Amino acid sequence: MNRDTPRVLLIVAILYLLVGTIGHDPWRGDDAIHFAPVFETLSVGAAWVPEAGGELVDGFGPLFYWLAAAVAWLLQWLLPLHDGARLTTALLAGGTLWALWRAASLMHGVQARTAVVLLTIGSLGLVVHVHETQPALGLVAAQAAVLWMLVSPHRFAMALAGIAAAAAFLFAGLQGILTTWPLLLFPLLPSRRGNEHSPLQAVGALMLALALCLAWALPASASPNWSAWLAAEIQALSPDSPVPARIAGWFKLFGWFLWPLWPLALWSLWRTWHGAPIRHVPLLLAALMLALSSVILTGGLRPVRMLPLIVPLALLAAPAIERLRRGAAAAFDWFAVMTFSSVGLLLWLAWSALVAQWPPGLARHFRKLAPGFDLTPGLPALLLGIALVLAWCAYLWWRRPAGRDATLTWAAGMTMLWCIATSMLAPWFQHTRSYRDAAEQLGLVVAERPARCISGVGLGHAQRSAMAYFAGLHIEPNRDVPECPLVLVYTDTRMNPRDLSRFGSEIWRFERGGGRQQESFALHARPAD
């Protein structure tokens, strides 16, 4: 890297974190699900455990939702609430990159600090989750902070590590404890004596983390949903059976989600095995094993569960970059160029299929997924897409030969693809992943037929939050409430068919998508007694 690397790194990181983070509605999936407790906090007030519509939102602690509500409230003069909440994820991701930068510098030297940031940005599994309202990024940020503090010579480092470990619990519950708290005991190991921190400091950090968590848990235990939250946390750390049946799925998910981190991490471990002076490998292996244990215990194959693996793998992979042989570095760079150029071409073909119906096969596929959708080409988006392609070509001409800028190629390529997808294809994502149209149409229908309450059947946190946010409609939790004269029923292809006649006559229906993406809302009116 040349002397302008920090400047280039900052530009790439800002583009990567901000483009696609603001400017769109909460999208179906985690983005809408985790916006629900944020909107609940802004509307009703902060709860001790995450709630939406009076129901528990399990899987995470309350800290992310408190932070997201605070950021959304502070920036409401500038951004919509959902954009402010989503910006919290970008801020936590920026903090993660900063902690990795500092940790890599202390662990492996200044040569590795740029590599660890670029490799993290270039990892395939991070790009979607870092641009949604995602509390799992809070755990990742806390995990990176703990590892940074454990190698920092600052006299208050262990105290800060204890605070970060407490934050991991408040972000992710028991998974945060499993992922970070055992690392605080690393200075107690005999091989660690005489290094950065003393055993007394380690015990003090653990006690500080415990005290901070108790400061939340004691008042939270009086909350009506506390028992349900705690039971869900314990259940989440019970391995599903049969575990061996998921091994093949785990390997597939690890293979793409953690690319290109895991090959480089293996190279670092290979060199360490053969005597290369790479420091702090035991600490990073311990962090990796703890994160891997939490993934296995949670049992599911959801990609978001893999996020805690990124931090230790990135710190293990960073020193490998400077030690790659010239041929391997050139192949690594060439693979990045071919991968991102090919996927970028596919994105342009997708835009062409939506606008010009060419190529015909891809156009038919899009019509099946979203019948009736037509993408009107916008000149700003088209010009931005062309500018991104020209910038990518200029970078390929500017980069140094023999793979010396391979990590920057990965980060720049990932940023380029994400910018193209979220600019040129933004209307497609808005049409297929936002509930705004459904909520606004339902609001008009309900305004003509006012009712004292609306019960919901089949709706999750994402759908009920959208109805409240976009139309001001409070949908009762997912149970059949006989007293409500109106019933809103949500169905998608994953649900079993329902007998809708028992809910009364249908007065409104909204459908979208096709194939496995099909979903519908139907409003029913119960017969008057």
Render 270-317 in DSSP notation, one character per residue.
HHHHTT---TTHHHHHHHHHHHHHHHHHH----GGGGGGGHHHHHHHH
CA distances from 485 to 455, 467, 527 (A): 8, 17, 8
Question: Mean pLDDT, to the nearest integer, of 124-142?
Answer: 97
pLDDT on residue 39: 96
- Please give the single-letter amino acid code of residue 110: V
pLDDT on residue 5: 73
pLDDT on residue 162: 98
Q: Which residue in this structure is represented by tokens 């391995």?
A: 239
Q: What's the half-sphere exposure (Cβ side, CA atoms, 13 Å) at 427?
A: 15
Distance CA 463, CA 133 (A): 15
Beta strands in 316-413 (DSSP E): none
**Lowest-confidence segment of 91-105, 108-122, 429-443, 476-490 by average pLDDT:** 476-490
Q: What is the pLDDT of residues 39-56, one digit of tens each?
A: 999 999 989 999 998 889
pLDDT on residue 244: 66
- Closest listed residue to residue 505, CA positions, set 527, 482, 490: 527
- The answer to whether 42 touches 71, Cβ cutoff 8 Å, is no
State which of 123-132, 183-192, 234-243, 491-500 shows the largest mean pLDDT. Answer: 123-132
Question: Mean pLDDT, to the nearest integer, of 501-524?
Answer: 88
- Tokens at residue 181, please? 């708290």
- Please give the single-letter amino acid code of residue 185: L
DSSP β-ladder status, 505-512 and 519-525: antiparallel
- Tokens at residue 304, please? 């978001």
Name the DSSP class of 514.
-
Burial 267-279 (b: 16+ CB within 10 A, else e): bbbebbeeeeebe
Interhelix angle 261-273/310-321, nearest 10 degrees: 60
Distance CA 240, CA 436 (A): 36
Q: What's the half-sphere exposure (Cβ side, CA atoms, 13 Å) at 158?
A: 21
- Tokens at residue 79, please? 């951004």
Indicate if the pLDDT at residue 3 is higher than 50: no
Q: To the nearest 10°, report the CA torsion of 94, 67, 237, 232.
A: -160
- Closest listed residue to residue 470, CA positions, set 21, 69, 32, 128: 32
DSSP β-ladder status, 454-457 and 486-492: parallel
Residue 228's region, left for phi above 0, alpha for psi from -120 to 50, else beta, is: alpha
Return the ∠ at Cα 436 (arms to 501 and 506), rounded to 5°.
15
Please confirm whether the linkage preceding 260 is cis (ω < 30° from 0).
Answer: yes
Q: What is the pLDDT of residues 461-482, one digit of tens each?
A: 999 999 999 999 999 876 655 6
Confidence of residue 191 (pLDDT cuts 50, 70, 90): low
Indicate if the pLDDT at residue 313 is higher than 60: yes
Indicate if the pLDDT at residue 290 is higher than 70: yes
- Please give the single-letter amino acid code of residue 194: G
Q: What is the pLDDT of residues 197-243, one digit of tens each?
A: 888 999 999 999 999 999 999 999 999 999 999 999 998 877 665 56
Confidence of residue 430 (pLDDT cuts 50, 70, 90): very high
Confidence of residue 188 (pLDDT cuts 50, 70, 90): confident
Question: Mean pLDDT, to the nearest integer, of 158-167?
Answer: 98
Burial of 199 (0-12, 13-18, 19+ CB in 10 A): middle
Indicate if the pLDDT at residue 497 is higher than 80: no
Q: What is the pLDDT of residues 96-110, one digit of tens each?
A: 999 999 999 999 998
- Closest listed residue to residue 151, CA positions, set 118, 116, 183, 117: 183
pLDDT on residue 529: 59
Q: For the chain, what are the domain ranges?
A: 22-321, 326-431, 436-525
Give me the chain's average pLDDT, please: 91
- Tokens at residue 147, please? 């590892």
